[in-house]
């Protein structure tokens, strides 16, 4: 189920919280973990019950591999290799089969039939999470979880579908700390606020921007230069508010259960270089690739050339992890080159407005490729962005905002009262949407807002603001939309 | 201290959120744009633009003594005409693209709270041949129909209702003009002409073998007859509307023309002779089948729409077995002539009908 659904907000979450704290109140600690795991499986199975077999199978295999790695002294490398290959095989089959077949068909001019396998939700996230577990177990750096701890960790619903990518060493010790099993109003208040603000980012900002993006990509054959840049700009903002909103919700939910999930964003669109961006964006993914891919490859310890190769490998793999299409690989490659560019000694990137704007433009451009899905779309967007073609399509692009309930009466009134100026009204609406997004982008992030309010004893204006966001979210619930990062 | 502050905050947040959530719910209950709780208030006009969301509410809460059942073909009907021609106050119960079972569900709903003098039923071939299962429970607006207050939250806290429907209702009652009789009407934005409507149709390149009628037809006829027999106090005016020559051309090419005759026979057999039924058939009304009256192969103009009711009020085009037999033979020849000659005027490349088994 989605976080932004009534069934989650008004049934699943209250029942799960009540069950969790009730069992812990009576010191049934293992029972509480079992309950949490079952609730998380209900949450996951609600999307499609068949997915449960997959995640449970994956958990079973990985747990057995972990146990083997703990108990065996001989053959550990082989067992690790089996575990890694099993996880990559699972991900490869469900995520990359068609991409592989398409590539073979393209290169060898064959006509192999595609499998059209539906990508199970969250498989990219829980697969790499479990990969980290077995690698840590091989290194004997993990916390040797029991079966129920392990199941609770992998399936913990706030982070199951789209991260943040929590490591077992972060969450399992918190499961074991019985002091965290008591209801803590301070954590709950903080978590609830963060969750509501995250919901607001997703439903009130990202989804509005998403209208423009979806409309622009639907009409890609008509798109002109100005519209292409507007669509690209809306997409980077949409992606940020969507994904960071989701992570705020996940962290907020974690806090409501007294658990601390790692931070995933540090105002990434204020980065002054690509390297700086990756120190602020999807931090838990960066951490995973650093720890489990870059470091084993030698990182920056093996000389300049090897360092460059390692950086490119990490970013190409990261691109491929995000999606099974050549556009994702191109996006990863561009970011790899961007990071290498930042390593130059002369004219180093400084934290000033020029570098921030330059980095933002690079990110806008590269994420446009990320969104394209096919090379054909990418080429069309590139042509539109860089071969001047005017702005005739722009009013039509902005007109997609007219159907939003928020703007409906304004646009209907404009159509009746000043039909000649309707296009200007559409442009003003787009400007308004971008202005609101810009204000929230320039200000504090949700976490900082909540912490600041907490320090001030939750002033009344904060109470009213959170209540207002919640009210807006509730009345928007009939417009269900999916989270972008579910696709990756 | 921190704990106390958090508890105080949670309490204040709960109260603030509850009060804020109360505002949209009260507005929706008060203005009730889908008429789920009551009819129009403060002497406002009934603004009806969202057929599927509003029909059930209007059937439950409006004052009327007749219903117009049918699909988009009769959606432009102005209920004021029915008032003038038949002396009844009518509510439209339109189910576009639906089934006979859905339309009859509306009829049952109307009977739950009203005594009906007349029921106008527009016979639609597709609806009569459709599955006899009511499809509403699968629809996302079923919460407006199921009388379950627990799912009313979808209506009470609904952004579209709050920011689109209520302001629109107020606008139509203050600054904009609105004709209540034209509920759900769509004709204003359409172009009725041969040139426009031919764009919606491409003649098939071959003529199929004759097709049999589906068995659902008899089941649907039986369902309708069941209602008619159950309500002898109501006069049922059943009518088969006209369709364009191109619709008939399609019937010919798809091999269903001969089964149309069979359908009319079964309709007449079932309903002709019932005391509380008046049956009309416009299938062979040449004056209404000209392409210029249409926006596509079936949807006719407002003028035709009015004329149909005027004809029925004057008891023209009554349908019985004799009328079907005599009119059909002429009509079939007329359709064949159109498909073998006249269609070339609109589609120069069309494969022309050469005669043969239909």
pLDDT in tens, B237-262: 999 999 999 999 999 999 998 889 99
- Tell me whether residue A297 is in a domain: no
pLDDT in tens, chain A (488 residues): 889 899 999 999 999 999 999 999 999 999 999 999 999 999 999 988 999 999 999 999 999 999 999 888 888 999 999 999 999 999 999 988 988 898 888 888 888 888 888 888 889 999 999 999 999 999 888 888 999 999 999 999 999 988 799 999 999 999 999 999 999 999 999 999 999 999 999 999 999 999 999 999 999 888 999 999 999 999 999 999 999 999 999 999 999 999 999 999 999 999 999 999 999 999 999 999 999 988 888 877 878 888 889 999 999 999 988 888 899 999 999 999 999 888 776 667 788 888 999 999 999 999 999 999 888 999 999 999 999 888 888 999 999 998 888 898 898 888 888 888 898 999 999 999 999 999 999 888 899 999 999 999 999 999 999 999 999 999 998 753 444 444 44
A118, A150, A183 — which closes off a domain? Answer: A183
CB neighbour class for A260 (10 Å; exposed up to 12, middle 13-18, buried from 19): middle
**Chain center to CA of A474:** 23
Q: What is the CATH number of the domain that holds B263?
A: 3.40.50.1110
DSSP A243-308: HHHHHHHHHHHHHHTT--PPP--S-GGG-SSHHHHHTTSSHHHHHHHIIIIIHHHTTTSS-HHHHH
Helix and strand numbers (H, E) in chain A are 25, 0
CA distances from A422 to A395, A398, A435 (A): 9, 11, 20
A406 touches chain B (CB under 8 A): yes
CB-CB under 8 Å, B7 with A476: no
pLDDT of residue A487: 45
Residues of B in contact with A186 (CB under 8 A): 2-3, 5-6
CB contact at 8 A, B237 and B121: yes
Q: Are residues A29 and A161 in the same domain?
A: yes
Q: Is A327 a member of any domain? A: no
Residues A368 and A372: their CA atoms lie apart, in Å, by: 6
Contact assignment for B24 to A471 by CB distance below 8 Å: yes
Residues 180-209 of A with CB under 8 A from B: 184-186, 188-190, 192-193
**Within-domain flag for B7:** no
In a domain, A325, yes or no: no
Residue B31 within a domain: no
Q: What is the ipTM of this complex?
A: 0.86
Interface residue A476 vs chain B (CB under 8 A) = yes
Q: Tokens representing B190? A: 């359409």
Same domain, A225 and A358: yes
In this complex, do A470 and B154 lie within 8 Å of one another by their Cβ atoms? no
Which of B4, B6, B169 is the best residue to mutate to test the A interface, defined by the most A CB atoms within 10 Å of its own CB?
Answer: B6
Any domain includes B8: no
Mark yes or no for CB contact B168/A185 under 8 Å: no
Looking at the structure, tell me whether residues A256 and A212 fall in a common domain. yes
Span B153-179, mean pLDDT? Answer: 91
Domain tally, chain B: 1
Q: Chain A: nearest CA to B27, how far in angstroms?
A: 13
Say if the Cβ atoms of B159 and A476 lie within 8 Å: yes
B16 touches chain A (CB under 8 A): yes
- Asked whether residue B220 is domain-assigned, the answer is yes
- Taking an 8 Å cut-off on Cβ atoms, the answer to whether B13 and A188 are in contact is no
Mean pLDDT of B197-210: 89
Are residues A203 and A258 located together in one domain of the fold? yes
Look at the pTM and tell me if it is higher than 0.80: yes
Whether residue B240 is contained in a domain is answered as yes
Whether A464 and A377 share a structural domain: yes
Q: Are A102 and A203 contained in the same domain?
A: no
A260 domain-assigned? yes
Torsion sign across C-alpha atoms B16, B21, B27, B30: negative
Domain boundary among A166, A183, A200: A183
CA gap B294, A479 in Å, rounded: 36
Q: Does residue B53 contact residue B141 with C-beta atoms inside 8 Å?
A: yes
| Domain membership flag for residue B328 | yes
Are B35 and B58 contacting, i.e. CB atoms less than 8 angstroms apart? yes
pLDDT at B356: 62
CB pair distance less than 8 Å for B159 and A471:
no
Query: CB–CB of A481/A4 below 8 Å?
Result: yes
- Mean pLDDT, chain B, whole residue set: 92
The answer to whether residue B147 neighbours chain A at the CB level (below 8 Å) is no
Q: Does the residue B4 lie in any domain?
A: no
Query: Residue A296: what pLDDT?
Result: 86
Mean pLDDT (whole number) for B52-66:
94
- What pLDDT is recorded for position B33? 94
Which of B2, B17, B158 faces A467 most closely, judged by CB atoms? B17
Q: What percent of chain B has pLDDT over 70?
A: 99
pLDDT at A481: 40
Strand boundaries in B73-160, DSSP class E: 90-94, 118-122
The boundaries of the domain holding residue A10 are 6-183
Q: Is residue A99 part of a domain?
A: yes
Report residue A429 as tokens. 């609406």
B21 domain-assigned: no
Please indicate if any CB of chain A lies within 8 Å of the CB of B22: no
Write out pLDDT tens, residues A427-483.
Answer: 999 999 999 999 999 888 899 999 999 999 999 999 999 999 999 999 998 753 444
For A477, name the nearest residue in chain B, comparing CA atoms only.
B158
Overall domain count for chain A: 2
A468 and B CB contact within 8 Å:
yes
Tell whether B176 lies on the interface with A, counting CB pairs under 8 A: yes
Q: Is B12 on the interface with A (CB under 8 A)?
A: yes
């Amino acid at each position: 189920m989605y976080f932004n659904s009534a069934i989650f907000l008004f049934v699943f979450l209250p029942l799960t919280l009540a069950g969790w704290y009730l069992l812990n109140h009576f010191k049934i600690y293992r029972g509480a973990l079992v309950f949490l795991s079952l609730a998380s499986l209900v949450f996951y199975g609600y999307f499609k019950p068949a997915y449960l077999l997959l995640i449970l199978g994956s958990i079973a295999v990985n747990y057995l591999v972990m146990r083997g790695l703990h108990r065996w002294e001989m053959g550990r490398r082989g067992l690790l290799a089996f575990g890694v290959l099993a996880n990559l095989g699972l991900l490869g089959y469900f995520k990359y089969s068609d991409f592989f077949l398409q590539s073979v068909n393209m290169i060898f001019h064959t006509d192999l039939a595609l499998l059209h396998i539906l990508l199970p939700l969250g498989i990219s996230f829980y697969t790499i999470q479990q990969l980290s577990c077995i690698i840590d177990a091989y290194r004997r750096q993990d916390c040797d979880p029991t079966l129920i701890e392990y199941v609770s960790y992998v399936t913990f619903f706030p982070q199951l579908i789209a991260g943040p990518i929590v490591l077992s060493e972060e969450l399992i010790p918190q499961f074991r700390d019985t002091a965290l099993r008591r209801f803590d109003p301070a954590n709950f208040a903080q978590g609830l606020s963060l969750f509501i603000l995250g919901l607001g980012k997703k439903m009130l900002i990202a989804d509005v921007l998403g209208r423009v993006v979806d409309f622009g990509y639907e009409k890609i054959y008509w798109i002109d230069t100005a519209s292409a840049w507007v669509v690209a700009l809306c997409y980077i903002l949409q992606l940020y508010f969507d994904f960071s909103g989701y992570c705020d919700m996940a962290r907020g939910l974690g806090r409501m259960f007294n658990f601390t999930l790692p931070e995933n964003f540090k105002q990434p669109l204020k980065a002054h270089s690509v390297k700086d961006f990756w120190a602020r964006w999807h931090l838990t993914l960066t951490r995973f690739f650093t720890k489990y891919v870059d470091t084993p490859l030698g990182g920056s310890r093996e000389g300049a050339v090897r360092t460059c190769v390692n950086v490119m490998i990490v970013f190409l793999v990261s691109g491929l992890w995000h999606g099974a299409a050549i556009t994702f690989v191109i996006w990863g490659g561009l970011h790899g080159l961007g990071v290498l560019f930042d390593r130059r000694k002369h004219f180093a990137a400084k934290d000033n407005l020029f570098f921030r704007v330059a980095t933002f433009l690079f990110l806008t451009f590269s994420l446009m490729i990320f969104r394209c899905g096919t090379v054909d779309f990418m080429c069309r967007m590139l042509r539109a962005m860089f071969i001047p073609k005017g702005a005739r399509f722009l009013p039509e692009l902005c007109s997609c905002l007219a159907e939003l309930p928020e703007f409906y009466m304004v646009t209907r009134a404009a159509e009746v009262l000043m039909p000649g100026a309707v296009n200007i009204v559409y442009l003003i609406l787009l400007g308004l949407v971008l202005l609101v997004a810009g204000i929230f982008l320039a200000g504090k992030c949700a976490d900082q807002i909540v912490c600041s309010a907490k320090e001030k004893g939750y002033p009344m204006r904060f109470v009213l603001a959170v209540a207002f966001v919640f009210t807006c979210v509730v009345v928007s619930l009939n417009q269900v939309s999916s989270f972008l990062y579910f696709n990756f | 201290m921190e704990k106390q502050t958090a508890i105080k905050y949670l309490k204040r947040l709960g109260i603030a959120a509850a009060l804020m959530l109360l505002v949209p719910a009260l507005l929706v209950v008060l203005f009730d744009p889908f008429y789920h709780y009551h009819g129009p208030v403060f002497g406002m006009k009934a603004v009806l633009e969202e057929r599927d969301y509003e029909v059930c509410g209007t059937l439950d809460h409006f004052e009327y003594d007749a219903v117009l059942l049918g699909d988009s073909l009769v959606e432009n009907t102005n209920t004021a005409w029915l008032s003038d021609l038949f002396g009844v106050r009518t509510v439209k119960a339109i189910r576009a693209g639906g089934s006979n079972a859905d339309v009859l569900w509306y009829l049952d709903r109307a009977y739950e709270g009203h005594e009906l003098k007349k029921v106008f039923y527009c016979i639609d071939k597709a609806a009569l041949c459709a599955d006899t299962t009511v499809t509403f429970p699968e629809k996302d607006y079923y919460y407006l129909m199921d009388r379950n207050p627990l799912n009313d939250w979808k209506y009470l806290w609904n952004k579209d209702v709050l920011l689109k429907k209520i302001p629109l209702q107020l606008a139509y009652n203050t600054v904009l003009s609105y004709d209540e009789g034209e509920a759900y009407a769509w004709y204003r934005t359409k172009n009725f002409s041969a040139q426009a409507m031919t764009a919606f149709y491409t003649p098939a390149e071959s003529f199929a073998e004759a097709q049999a009628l589906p068995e659902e037809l008899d089941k649907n006829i039986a369902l309708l007859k069941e209602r008619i027999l159950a309500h002898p106090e109501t006069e049922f005016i059943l009518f088969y509307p006209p369709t364009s020559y191109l619709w008939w051309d399609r019937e010919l090419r798809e091999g269903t023309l001969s089964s149309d005759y069979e359908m009319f026979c079964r309709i007449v057999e079932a309903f002709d002779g019932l005391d509380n039924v008046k049956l009309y058939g416009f299938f062979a009304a040449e004056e209404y089948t000209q392409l210029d009256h249409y926006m596509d192969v079936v949807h006719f103009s407002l003028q035709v729409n009015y004329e149909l009711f005027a004809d029925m009020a004057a008891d023209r085009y009554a349908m019985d077995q004799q009328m079907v037999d005599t009119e059909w033979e002429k009509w079939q020849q007329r359709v064949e002539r159109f498909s073998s000659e006249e269609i070339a005027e609109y589609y120069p490349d069309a494969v022309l009908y050469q005669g043969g088994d239909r």
